[in-house]
Amino acid sequence: MGINQNYKLNLIQWYPGHIAKAEKNLKEQLKLVDVVLEVRDARIPLSTFHPQIPQWIGNKKRLLVLNRLDMISEQVRQLWADWFKRQGEQVFFTNAQQGQGVTAVSKATQATGVELNQRRRDRGMLPRPVRAVVIGFPNVGKSALINRLVGRRVVESAARPGVTRQLRWVRISEDLELLDAPGVIPAKLEDQEAGLKLAVCDDIGEAAYDNQLIAAAFVDLVNELYAIAPDVLPENPLRSRYDLDPTSSTGESYLHNLSELRHKGDVERTARQILTDFRKGFLGTLPLELPPN
Ligand SMILES: Nc1nc2c(ncn2[C@@H]2O[C@H](COP(=O)(O)OP(=O)(O)OP(=O)(O)O)[C@@H](O)[C@H]2O)c(=O)[nH]1
Ligand SMILES: [Mg+2]
């Protein structure tokens, strides 16, 4: 699927110093880690794939977590589960805010520890806690997942990218230590369509994009998804929310028409409204990505 080429999204190469630094520290700490929990956004499981992560992980055990389970429908969850299975990958779906699916992640992590300590004992070494790191793009719910795994709020988690600034080890029990890491983004976002989706989902910093361009491209994206797979999407989510049908307009003209209708022509405010509504789930369980055929 190609997004509308009428726009240049003008994604700024946003790679601030604190992320570069976090990435460097993360690579160092990774040496100490036994298992990596790679967290992605269930609305965009492919666009929240960070191309360098496999290389960082190397031969370590990895658990793939698709978080924000509540923001996709059961039908879409099933499509992704099947697709990943065909790729030979097991996925854990979680809602790190409410806790669904977290026990399974916890069990799988602890199981790694059992294996680890068996190997240690075989070599005459004392057992130690298994060390797990949670990594992924900003704002995908890494810290929320840690809080859920611990069962109380031990690290800061909030609705904006870039909340976690420092790597932080949290000891959960005699058996498990978790490392919370700041979100990482590739130094260069090559793929404009992935960049668009990351921006819409608030998984990269706001400094990286223009709200109006992103909101307009989002409307186009919804129209395109709708044309391809209407059966797995909510019924015309934009019309339901705003009482204005997007299907025969471009995103840009939709944004302008909606701003006239609702916000006295204030296009920026309208763009923010659309993005906020999507992010808060007011447009329903609307995935921005479906498994490739
Ligand atoms: N609806 C929903 N919200 C979630 C879920 N997981 C986390 N959140 C919310 O998403 C926001 C971001 O969560 P964080 O845990 O701060 O995300 P993070 O990946 O640690 O973000 P950075 O530290 O900025 O990289 C918070 O407001 C969470 O409450 C989820 O499964 N569903
Ligand atoms: Mg965090």
Asked if residue 2 has pLDDT above 90, the reply is: no
Confidence class of residue 11 from pLDDT cuts 50, 70 and 90? low
Quick one: which atom of ligand 1 is closest to the CA of 144? 15
244 annotated ligand binder: no
Q: Is residue 112 part of a domain?
A: yes
Report residues whose beta carbon is within 6 angstroms of any ligand 1 atom. Answer: 67-71, 95-97, 138-144, 157-159, 161-164, 182-183
As a whole-number percent, the residues of the chain with pLDDT over 90 amount to 86
Cβ < 5 A residues, ion ligand 2: 142-143, 163-164
Q: Is residue 267 part of a domain?
A: yes
Say whether both 163 and 271 belong to one domain: no
Strands 35-41, 130-135: pairing kind? parallel
Mean pLDDT over the full length of the chain: 93
pLDDT tens-place string over residues 119-147: 999 999 999 999 999 999 999 999 999 99
The pair of structure tokens assigned to 42 is 């269930």
CB–CB of 251/4 below 8 Å?
Answer: yes
Domain boundary among 165, 180, 195: 180
pLDDT tens-place string over residues 217-226: 999 999 999 9
Write down the residue that tokens 């025969």 correspond to. 248
67 annotated ligand binder: yes
Say whether both 159 and 242 belong to one domain: no
**Residue 12: predicted pLDDT:** 63
Q: Is residue 187 part of a domain?
A: no
The domain tally of the chain equals 2
Say whether both 160 and 221 belong to one domain: no
Task: Show the DSSP H helices in 123-266 as ranges.
Answer: 142-150, 192-200, 211-228, 237-242, 251-263
- Residue 263 belongs to domain spanning: 210-279
Confidence class of residue 190 from pLDDT cuts 50, 70 and 90? confident
Identify the CATH number of the domain in which residue 100 sits: 3.40.50.300
Substitution site in 139, 142, 166, 286 for ligand 1 pocket (most atoms within 8 Å of beta carbon): 139
d(CA 289, CA 293): 12
Q: Is residue 205 part of a domain?
A: no
pLDDT tens-place string over residues 235-248: 999 999 999 999 99
Interval 89-102 mean pLDDT: 98
Long-range pairs for 20-26 at CB < 8 Å and ≥24 separation?
20/187, 22/165, 22/166, 22/167, 22/181, 22/182, 22/184, 23/184, 25/167, 26/56, 26/133, 26/135, 26/167, 26/181, 26/182, 26/184
The pair of structure tokens assigned to 84 is 């990943």
Q: Is residue 253 part of a domain?
A: yes
Say whether both 131 and 62 belong to one domain: yes
Element (H, E) at 167: none
Q: Which residues, 6+ apart, have CB-to-CB distance to 128 below 8 Å?
A: 117, 120
Say whether both 34 and 89 belong to one domain: yes
